[in-house]
Amino acid sequence: MNNLMYVLTDYTFHIVALGATLLGMMSGVIGSFAVLKKQSLIGDAIAHAALPGIAITFLLTQTKSNEFLLVGALVTGLLATVCMHTMKTYSKIEVESAMSLILSTFFGLGLVLLTYIQTIPNAHQAGLDRFIFGQAATLLQSDVLLIAIMAIVSMSVIILCWKELKLVTFDTIFAQSIGISPKTISLFLSVLIVLVSIVGLQTVGVILMSALLVAPGVAARQWTHKLETMVILAGIFGGVSGGIGTLVSSLMTKIPTGPSIVLSMGIIVLISIVFAPSRGVVWRLHHSRIQQRRLAQEHILGLLYELLCQQQRVFNRHNVASMLQMKVTTQAQLYDMLRELERLRKQGFVYCENDQWTLTKRGVEYVETLYSKEEQYGTP
């Protein structure tokens, strides 16, 4: 507890946590559109493309200043974006293939340049490798200010261009018909992703930045079908993961902040996939079980109704268990059917006496209503 109170009152923790939270929120909001457009790999490609820009800038300036290094990363990130859109527009290469090609080529170039830098005297002191995995603990107040400015600008742009982004994301053809250029909007969105990726390099690094762009949107998508709600939730999830990851890293020794942030986001994604309503695994299993129970009950009611009709609607009782046993293949299925039969009895649809079953008047009305719906709308 003392350690927790010390961390929460530490100035360095406040700086890093604020920067990580803002970065997570910004990444979640912008990355949501990439997730919906099924271009999740674009963040990965752009982040990896920034590495050679960092290396080249260091070779040209011989400085470790973040401002110069990030400008170099921005240049190569934008270059990679232009290359991807050019390949997509003027060739038959699919967008996923173009992203993979750009990712591997630029990242390979960056590793070659970093290897070369290590051979230069005193170059090992440059600390350029921190951009690969991130080093959030080195964030300064000026870095957080840059992230905050970028967050304000990107959020403002998203709000101003909301209609265009929404139309291009869901209905490209309609967007074109009213004069909106999908290519321009896609390029514009890619530029925003470039800026976010470059700003986040120092916090989570080249390798993990794509996870911070994609994961919040994936988690938010499980909870809603509305774009507005999804974007807000993605921003919240990204911000929460940034704060929790920073706290975990601060409380535990030798735990890097970047991976902690991504791991926190991964846990949120896992919880969303498992427990989210409508789309979560637990809900789907529960809904599937309800459907199976409903079908089993309707099968039993239909069987009793057919027997009732054959006997000119005389409410004679029948040994339903023996009839069901002939219609199933396993004992487990028979057990499930008998359990549903007992549920129907408790609901008042069937009546039992000495293991002999028949429909009640309520059961007859329910089956006839069900059959009339099937005749009107077709069998579901």
The pLDDT value recorded for residue 230 is: 95
> In the listed set 275, 309, 324, which residue is the last one of a domain according to the structure?
275
Interval 245-287: pLDDT, tens: 989 888 887 788 888 898 999 999 999 999 998 888 999 998 8
Q: What 3-state class would DSSP assign to 368? A: helix
Q: How far apart are CA 27 and CA 87, in angstroms?
A: 25
- My answer on whether 215 and 290 are in the same domain is no
Interval 63-94: pLDDT, tens: 777 778 888 888 998 888 888 888 877 887 87
- My answer on whether 196 and 59 are in the same domain is yes
> In the listed set 241, 258, 275, which residue is the last one of a domain according to the structure?
275
Integer CA distances (angstroms), 214 to 36, 41, 238, in order? 10, 9, 10
Under 8 Å between Cβ of 11 and 20: no
pTM score: 0.81
| CATH classification at residue 340 | 1.10.10.10
Under 8 Å between Cβ of 20 and 245: yes
- My answer on whether 260 and 293 are in the same domain is no
The pLDDT value recorded for residue 238 is: 94
Q: What are phi and psi of 40, to 5 degrees?
A: -65, -25
Domain count, the chain: 2
305-313 long-range contacts (CB < 8 A, ≥24 apart) are 305/359, 305/363, 305/364, 305/367, 305/368, 308/358, 308/359, 308/364
> In the listed set 275, 309, 340, which residue is the last one of a domain according to the structure?
275
Under 8 Å between Cβ of 114 and 129: yes
- My answer on whether 359 and 248 are in the same domain is no
- My answer on whether 39 and 164 are in the same domain is yes
Q: The domain containing residue 196 runs over which residues?
A: 2-275
- My answer on whether 228 and 369 are in the same domain is no
- My answer on whether 17 and 101 are in the same domain is yes
Q: How far apart are CA 37 and CA 34, in angstroms?
A: 5
Integer CA distances (angstroms), 308 to 5, 172, 296, 360, in order? 74, 57, 18, 11
- My answer on whether 263 and 338 are in the same domain is no
The pLDDT value recorded for residue 380 is: 46
- My answer on whether 249 and 171 are in the same domain is yes
Low-confidence ranges of the chain (pLDDT < 70): 1-4, 6-7, 122-129, 311-321, 325-329, 373-380
Q: How far apart are CA 108 and CA 44, in angstroms?
A: 14
| CATH classification at residue 242 | 1.10.3470.10
Bridge partner list, 351: 358
Helix axis angle for 182-221 and 11-36, nearest 10°, is 120
- My answer on whether 306 and 259 are in the same domain is no
The token pair that represents 27 in the structure block: 């990444």
- My answer on whether 140 and 116 are in the same domain is yes
- My answer on whether 322 and 196 are in the same domain is no
